[in-house]
Structure 1
Amino acid sequence: MFASILNYPDSVFAQFDRLRRDLDDVFGGSGVPSSIRSVALGSVPPLNVGRTAKSVEVYAFAPGLDASKIDVTLDRGVLRISGERVADVPEKDPKTSVYARERAVGRFSRSVALPDDIDPAQVSATYRDGVLQVSIGRKEAAQPKRITVQ
């Protein structure tokens, strides 16, 4: 429902969303500068993206998918997650009436621009309980080093 409200450019919610995006542009989102970029709230499937000292972690919330039909690619610093969700209720069955459909169906694709310090040789992806986790290692030179004071 919230995503559909944002489609009306003059709604109060759309104006607040535009203000939030403008502030994110100025202040870098959560206040922490980051070179990781994704698209706006409301895209399917929703993503959580963060980084640790050793990796960049991407979580895609996509329940009900067949793991073998999820395509994950990493090309020139851009992670792309795509796939397709089929309808739960058959549309062509004359004995079935669909009154509401809130779960998105069809093809989807999400892209995330990653920082330059990732190591494309260190990528793993797992799908469990409807959550796809993609872990991309960071280059050794980018990881924090503790320096001993003598």
Structure 2
Amino acid sequence: MSDFYFSGDVFSELDRVQRQVSSLFGNFPSSIRSSRADAFPQLNIGSSDDAIHIVAFAPGVEPSSLDVTVDKGTLTISGERRAQGAVEGSRTYAKERFSGNFRRVIELPQNADVDKVEARYENGTLSITIGKREASKPRAITIQ
């Protein structure tokens, strides 16, 4: 006889197993595409029929210190966020705001058209739009 107990409710069993695995391995991201909570800048990535949209949240970063490059199917966002709020001659007891150099690399889907990239920085948010290749866009087929 097996020691395995099954209550009959598959979803509650899956939830129980997920909680046990989470407790064993800590708080890993719930998605393969998720990253560490302390990654900077934090990103939102989505797509429409015409483009891929990437929003990087980078408050306190000067637009002139940002660098966006596309190479071999990857988009790289790098730059520097300078330390702010320090009073000259004071000792720091706690520092919760990240400062220094950063770099995020995003693998682009195959249908991204790297010749159609636009980037705009406004109010601490870097918005990047990458067009999709014409061949990958949905199109209606006429039935004869």
- Which TM class, normalised by the smaller chain length? 0.7 to 0.9
* 1:1-150 aligned within 5 A: 12=23, 14-17=25-28, 20=30, 24-25=31-32, 40-42=35-37, 43-90=39-86, 93-94=88-89, 96-149=90-143
C-alpha distance in 2, partners of 1:144/1:86?
Answer: 44
Deviating above 3 A after TM superposition, structure 1's stretches of 4 or more consecutive aligned residues are: 11-14
C-alpha distance in 1, partners of 2:54/2:61?
Answer: 17
Structure 2 unpaired stretches of 5+? 1-21
Work out the percentage of aligned pairs sharing the same amino acid. Answer: 38
Give the number of the structure whose alpha-carbon radius of gyration is greater: 2
Residue 104 of structure 1 aligns with an amino acid whose one-letter code is F
The one-character-per-residue Cα deviations of 1:94-121 (angstroms, maximum 9, x if unpaired) are 1x23332211110000000001111111
Structure 1 window deviating more from structure 2 (100-109 vs 130-139): it is 100-109
Alignment length (residue pairs): 122
Structure 1 unpaired stretches of 5+? 1-10, 26-37
Alignment TM-score, normalising by the size of structure 2: 0.75
C-alpha distance in 1, partners of 2:128/2:35?
Answer: 19
Alignment TM-score, normalising by the size of structure 1: 0.72
